[in-house]
């Protein structure tokens, strides 16, 4: 049994030396091939020779040519495997260097064995800011740990594969075919489940693959890529299109059998088929807006899907919308998309006014099975209970962590959480995740007791509640978020649009009106997505909003 590899071994590895061996091996291989060619030419030149001695010499030459060909093939396999080893270990070294950069950006460092050393942080006197700094440190430790852990895992898997292939190149009776590349390393097990730090492991795994290996993973194993947070949005999109195509035929057949008005027992089947139709219709839109499919899962009672309005990979500002009670893709996805196209345009206008030319993207996160009316009031999935919110909060944290993990530079991220979605968000914010701004609107209560508990910087937790919306008055799922000290209570009533003298923003009356075009609540949500805290409009009777401080160092 070989010694287990560690960060020290990766740091000590020199891919350039392996490539030098490959270069010299190729030189020797060409010499062997040259000798085989010379033997073939000599054989051709001696065709006039006849007799027993000539036959014996010809057989000896044939054996020599075959032997030289076999040696050349084995040398080719060895060179190819070593070339793959150098490329893979170069990627592992880059993961180690990336981890070092992430730690260094927080004033921390990693020791020779990859353990993170965090400097002592002196209290600022503001408990909320201290908690925010602590959250950023915890996030850094998680990301560095996953990055280094994945470097070690990939190096160990590569070591095993290289040993196996090199032994085969020597010991197999027939020289094996020359491999184009090493096999694609499977994704990390911890990245496939809903855990906030799994996105960091997925991102590190994806970075360890070559461009060709990524293409193979997408086409041959789309289930490895499509649902995994931490992988760039366009790569997930391509994999999910393959998964969607696999689902389309069975879904159409199920829809044909269910009919336009299905029996109660066929409702989940009908909803799956209609959800796929809704996603197809969304992706087929040709209105100049980029859309990406980041999740499609029809395995549960409620279809889970994540789509975008805008390009998540290149946007400087990313808002994630978390829907509430009874949201389902087949019923709500198109409506959300239509609304968010306009809200993205509004947010872009606000960023341009600030001189910020960064793009804005909105993720429609229907990534959890929201409680439905058919779940009743007593089951664990009831909207009156927080079981579903607790169970899926980690998935939300993983998704938002994955947006930054997949990029070289973090985006400004915002969360828009409506109704029961604010319950999910309250639990998610207590996990190790980073969020710049949060808006809870139409909230039936939250498990949060303070801004510090959410790990947010001061002033980053925003709450909207229309005066005529009865849901925020229930406090069913905990504290009314408007009562949390330090929250920014934003307006949902009629107000004069900032910078205008005769444009009045409308009031939101009902529980589902917060996203309506031309409302004060829509304007406030767009300002949050754009990172324009100065454009937020306070609730009536509330004092002017204090500016949000810059991110913690």
We report the CATH number of the domain holding residue 288 as 3.40.50
In this predicted structure, what is the pLDDT of residue 267? 77
Q: Looking at mean pLDDT, say which of 45-49, 351-355, 524-528 comes out highest.
A: 524-528
Q: How confident is the model at residue 177 (pLDDT cuts 50, 70, 90)?
A: confident
User: Vertex 318, ends 316 and 323: CA angle to 5°?
Assistant: 175
SS3 230: coil
Contact 101, 23 (CB under 8 A): no
Q: What whole-number distance in Å separates Cα of residue 307 and Cα of residue 337?
A: 9
SS3 state at 186: coil
DSSP letter (8 states) at residue 479: B
Do 232 and 141 share a domain, yes or no? no
Interval 366-394 mean pLDDT? 92
Pick from 399, 395, 542: nearest CA to 462: 542
Top-confidence residue, 245 or 500? 245
**Within-domain flag for 492:** no
Query: pLDDT grade, residue 480 (50/70/90)?
Result: very high
- Please list, in sequence order, all residues whose beta carbon lies within 8 angstroms of the beta carbon of residue 488, skipping any fewer than 6 positions away: 459, 461, 462, 463, 536, 538, 545
Does residue 246 form part of some domain?
yes
> Residue 468 domain-assigned?
no
**493 Cβ partners below 8 Å, 6+ apart?**
466, 467, 507, 508, 520, 539, 540
The overall average pLDDT reported for the chain is 90
Instruction: Please give the backbone phi and psi of residue 367, each rounded to the nearest 5 degrees, phi first.
Output: -90, 10
Whether residue 391 has pLDDT greater than 90? yes
For residues 424 and 78, the model is more confident at: 424
141: Cβ–Cβ under 8 A, 6 or more apart, which residues? 108, 116, 118
Better pLDDT: 110 or 378: 110
> Do 265 and 368 reside in the same domain of the chain?
yes
Question: Based on the domain organization, do 65 and 134 belong to the same domain?
Answer: yes
Say which residues have a Cβ less than 8 Å from residue 293's Cβ, sequence separation at least 6: 236, 237, 240, 241, 244, 279, 283, 305, 306, 307
Residue 296 shares a structural domain with residue 370 = yes
Element containing residue 161 per DSSP (H, E): helix 127-171
Q: What are residue 496's phi and psi, to 5 degrees?
A: -75, 130
Is 250 in the same domain as 357? yes
Strands in 483-525 per DSSP E: 488-490, 495-496, 504-505
| Chain-centre distance for alpha carbon 263 | 38
Q: Which helix (H) or strand (E) holds 417?
A: strand 412-418
In a domain, 529, yes or no: no
Looking at residue 1, its pLDDT comes to 37
Distance from C-alpha of 503 to C-alpha of 349, rounded to nearest angstrom: 16
Is residue 542 domain-resident? no
Do 234 and 113 share a structural domain? Answer: no
Give the Cβ contact number of residue 449 at 10 Å.
14
CB atoms within 10 A of CB 199: 28
- pLDDT band of residue 49 (cuts 50, 70, 90) is low
Cβ atoms 178, 147 nearer than 8 A: no
- What pLDDT sits at residue 33? 86
Q: Is residue 62 a part of any domain in this protein?
A: yes
427-439 mean pLDDT: 95
pLDDT at 175 over 70: no
Q: How far apart are CA 104 and CA 155, in angstroms?
A: 24
Do 139 and 234 lie in one domain? The reply is no
| CB-side neighbour CA atoms (13 Å) of 77 | 21
Confidence of residue 203 (pLDDT cuts 50, 70, 90): very high
Q: For 89-141, how does the pLDDT look when each residue is reduced to its tens digit (9 = 90+)?
A: 999 999 999 999 999 999 999 999 999 999 999 999 999 999 999 999 999 99
Residues 95 and 239 in one domain: no
Q: Picking from 132-141, 190-199, 353-362, 509-518, which range would have the lowest pLDDT averaged per residue?
A: 190-199
Give the separation between CA 141 and CA 173, rounded to whole angstroms.
Answer: 49
pLDDT of residue 144: 97
Percent of the chain with pLDDT over 70: 92
Judged by average pLDDT, the poorest of 69-73, 355-359, 549-553 is 549-553
Q: Work out the pLDDT band at 276, boundaries 50, 70, 90.
A: very high
Alpha helices in 196-266 (DSSP H): 198-208, 211-220, 222-225, 233-258
Same domain, 141 and 248: no
How confident is the model at residue 296, as a pLDDT? 96
Task: Give the confidence band of 253 by pLDDT, cuts at 50, 70, 90.
Answer: confident
Give a yes or no: residue 414 inside a domain: yes
Mean pLDDT confidence for 467-487? 94
Task: Give the total number of structural domains in the chain.
Answer: 2
- Domain of residue 169: give its range: 7-176
Decide which of 445, 462, 479 is a domain's last residue: 462
Q: Is residue 342 part of a domain?
A: yes
User: What would the pLDDT profile of 215-249 be if each residue is shown by its tens digit?
Assistant: 999 999 999 999 999 999 999 999 999 999 999 99
Short-list 345, 501, 500, 525, CA closest to 437 = 525
Least confident of 253-262, 271-280, 314-323, 396-405: 253-262
44 vs 72, residue with greater confidence: 72
Residue 242 sits in the same domain as residue 343 = yes
Q: For residue 240, is it left (φ>0), alpha (ψ between -120 and 50) or beta?
A: alpha
Q: Residue 548 has what pLDDT?
A: 60
**CA-CA-CA-CA dihedral for 169, 172, 175, 177, to nearest 10:** -70
Q: Higher-confidence residue: 459 or 377?
A: 459
Packed helices 15-45 and 52-105: angle between N→C axes, nearest 10 degrees: 160
Of the three residues 430, 462, 494, the one that is the final residue of a domain is 462
Q: What is the CATH number of the domain that holds 83?
A: 1.20.1260
∠ Cα 86 90 94 (to 5°): 175
Q: Do residues 242 and 389 both lie within one domain?
A: yes
Mark which of 462, 484, 499 sits at the end of a domain. 462
Q: Which residue has the higher pLDDT, 297 or 47?
A: 297
> Using alpha carbons only, what angle is made at residue 369 by residues 363 and 375, rounded to the nearest 5 degrees?
145
CA 123 to chain centre: 33
Q: Are residues 247 and 357 in the same domain?
A: yes
């Amino acid at each position: 049994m070989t010694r287990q590899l560690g960060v020290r071994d990766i740091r000590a590895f020199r891919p350039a030396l392996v490539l030098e061996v490959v270069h010299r091996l190729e030189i020797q291989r060409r010499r062997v091939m040259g000798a085989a060619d010379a033997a073939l030419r000599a054989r051709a030149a001696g065709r006039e020779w006849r007799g027993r001695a000539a036959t014996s010499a010809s057989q000896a030459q044939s054996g020599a040519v075959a032997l030289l060909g076999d040696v050349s093939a084995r040398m080719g396999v060895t060179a190819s495997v070593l070339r793959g080893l150098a490329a893979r270990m170069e990627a592992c070294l880059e993961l180690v260097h990336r981890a070092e950069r992430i730690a260094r950006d927080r004033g921390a460092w990693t020791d020779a064995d990859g353990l993170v050393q965090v400097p002592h942080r002196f209290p600022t006197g503001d408990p909320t800011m201290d908690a925010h700094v602590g959250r950023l440190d915890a996030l850094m430790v998680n990301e560095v740990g996953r990055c280094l852990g994945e470097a070690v895992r990939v190096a160990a898997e590569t070591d095993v594969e290289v040993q196996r292939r090199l032994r085969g190149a020597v010991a197999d009776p027939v020289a094996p075919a020359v491999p184009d590349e090493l096999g694609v390393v499977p994704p990390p097990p911890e990245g496939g489940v809903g855990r906030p730090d799994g996105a960091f492991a997925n991102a590190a795994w994806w970075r360890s693959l070559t461009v060709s290996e990524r293409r193979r993973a997408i086409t041959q194993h789309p289930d490895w890529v499509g649902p995994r947070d931490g992988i760039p949005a366009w790569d997930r999109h391509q994999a999910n299109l393959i998964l969607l195509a696999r689902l389309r035929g069975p879904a159409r057949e199920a829809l044909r059998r269910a009919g336009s008005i299905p029996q109660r027992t066929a409702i989940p089947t009908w909803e799956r088929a209609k959800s796929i139709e809704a996603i197809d219709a969304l992706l087929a839109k040709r209105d100049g807006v980029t859309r990406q499919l980041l999740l499609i899962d029809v395995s549960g009672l409620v279809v889970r899907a994540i789509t975008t309005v805008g390009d998540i990979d290149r946007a400087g500002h990313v808002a994630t919308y978390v829907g509430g009670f009874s949201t389902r893709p087949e019923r709500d996805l198109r409506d959300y998309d239509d609304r968010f196209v306009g809200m993205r345009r509004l947010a872009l206008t606000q960023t341009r006014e600030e001189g910020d030319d960064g793009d804005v993207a909105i993720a429609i996160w229907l990534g959890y099975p929201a409680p439905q009316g058919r779940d009743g009031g007593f089951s664990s999935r009831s909207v009156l209970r927080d079981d579903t919110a607790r169970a899926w909060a980690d998935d939300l944290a993983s998704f938002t962590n994955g947006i930054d993990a997949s990029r070289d530079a973090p985006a400004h991220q915002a969360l828009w959480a409506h109704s029961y979605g604010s319950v999910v968000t309250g639990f998610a914010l207590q996990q190790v995740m980073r969020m710049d701004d949060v808006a809870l609107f139409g909230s039936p209560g939250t498990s949060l007791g303070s801004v510090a508990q959410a790990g947010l910087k001061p002033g980053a937790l925003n709450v909207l509640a229309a005066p005529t919306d009865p849901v925020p008055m229930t406090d069913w799922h905990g504290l009314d978020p408007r009562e949390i000290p330090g929250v920014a209570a934003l307006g949902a009533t009629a107000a004069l649009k900032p910078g205008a003298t005769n444009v009045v923003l409308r009031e939101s009356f009902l529980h589902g009106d917060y996203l309506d075009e031309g409302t004060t609540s829509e304007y406030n949500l767009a300002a949050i997505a754009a990172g324009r805290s100065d454009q937020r409009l306070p609730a009536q009777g509330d004092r002017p909003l204090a500016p949000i401080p810059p991110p913690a160092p």
